[in-house]
Amino acid sequence: MKGNLLYGQSGGPTTVINATAYGVIKQAFESEEIKEVYAMRHGIRGALEDDLIHVNSLAEEEIELLPKTPGAAFGSVRYKIAKAKDDETDYVRLLYIFKKYNIRYFLYNGGNDSMDTCYKISEYMKKVDYDVQIIGLPKTIDNDLPFTDHTPGFGSAAKYIANTIMEIHYDMIAYPKGKITIVEIMGRHAGWLTASSAIASLSGYGPDLIYLPEIPFDIEQFKKDVQEVYEKKNQCLVAVSEGVTNKDGEFISSSSALKDAFGHFQLGGVAPKLANIIDSEMKYKARSIELSTIQRSAAHLQSLTDVEEAIQVGRTGVAMALKGMSDVMVTMNRKKQKDYEIEYTTHPLKDVANVERVVPKEMINKKQTGMTQAFYDYVLPLIQGENPSGFKEGIQQFSTILKNS
């Protein structure tokens, strides 16, 4: 089917989402069926507002910089489209845009909510009998998408977290009697990122205690855990997920009642809250550190494995669309554990949307404050290799597509 391709980015950025964009663009340029490639500026909002970037017109150097560029080079968005049965406004607009630009291939790069958007659009286009191949491209540092071994973006974030925890630990032990340091790491319902802090332990500089959202968080038990470590070591390093909840499912942070477009609470603040408890109730000196968006934007610590897989996800998505596949998300399956090898397949979008994959129990230790060998076996292949940034006069060089196009 000859026609044009429309690509978009959605949700929280990663250090390799632009590597996936690079894979999409390169594969599309090599295709005889795809004439023009467009990218939505700020995700689906760009399509609704007829704000598209003509990728064919971009300078080659801008495209070549994509794999080393963090953030979302074409702009991202958190926009929830209604169900077509409730409101067809957005769908009618998208159909108009698809026809206007002869879009026959639509690839959307995102996480759980983005796959939901893909599925809704696909169902509507089939309903109105508009022929378009729709493919979801996985992306999220949270690593919580189902039916795939892992997601592009997680490996690089895990690498950054592990190395940063090592640096924090090494700074902390400079004094004979240190503070209790609490590091807050992203992760709403899935603790993959916080678990990654344990990688630092392989070099002897990891956290003493790790708390994941998969395990109900008990303040009193937390205080006992901290006291036990502090009395032995005169210091304590804690890694805690922003999404930890109590036994009733209430977020420990819950400092904000704000929600995003998809109804998710905007989290953050659990580390300062716990540090305050330690200061006021336990009379120990405590410090809080929030890694925040740095863990998803540290391009200088990209995993080469992550970058290469992200590119291949983009290429695979286009290749599968050209073969007539639609309504699926590209997935990665681990063929071997010992000799790491990945194969690229697909899974129906209808099964992926709004489903979260959490850290399995066998990867969490018996005390529920650390990780098992099963986790290390899983995660270590994902952080291998470096993708050196291109520096000029000491400054990293990034693509400027969003700024200048």
Active-site annotation, residues: 142
Q: Which amino acid is at 318?
A: V
Residue with tokens 């992760």: 187
Task: Give the separation between CA 119 and CA 69, rounded to whole angstroms.
Answer: 28
Q: Quick check: 168 and 289 in contact, CB under 8 A?
A: yes
Q: Is 38 helix (H, G, I), strand (E, B) or coil?
A: strand
Query: β-strand 52-54 against 103-110: which pairing, if any?
Result: unpaired
Given 3-state DSSP classes, what are the helix, strand and coil percentages for the chain, each rounded to the nearest 5?
Answer: 40, 20, 40
Task: Give the separation between CA 121 and CA 360, rounded to whole angstroms.
Answer: 32
Which DSSP helix (H) or strand (E) runs through 236? strand 236-241
Q: Quick check: 299 and 315 in contact, CB under 8 A?
A: no
Task: Give the separation between CA 35 and CA 39, rounded to whole angstroms.
Answer: 14
Q: Quick check: 211 and 226 in contact, CB under 8 A?
A: no
For helices 304-322 and 17-29, angle between their N-to-C axes, nearest 10 degrees:
40
DSSP assigned state of 245? B
Q: Quick check: 355 and 146 in contact, CB under 8 A?
A: yes
- Give the tokens for residue 164: 């940063």
Please say whether the dihedral angle defined by the alpha carbons of residues 223, 229, 231 and 236, taken in this order, is positive or negative.
Answer: negative
Q: Quick check: 236 and 52 in contact, CB under 8 A?
A: no
Task: Give the separation between CA 372 and CA 198, rounded to whole angstroms.
Answer: 9
Query: Which residues are within 8 A (CB) of 146 and not within 5 positions of it... i.e. 6 or more apart?
Result: 347, 351, 352, 355, 356, 357
DSSP string, 25-89: HHHHHT-SSEEEEEEETTTHHHHHTT-EEEGGGS-HHHHHTGGG--S-TT-----PPPPTTT--H
Phi, psi of 52 (to 5 degrees): -110, 150
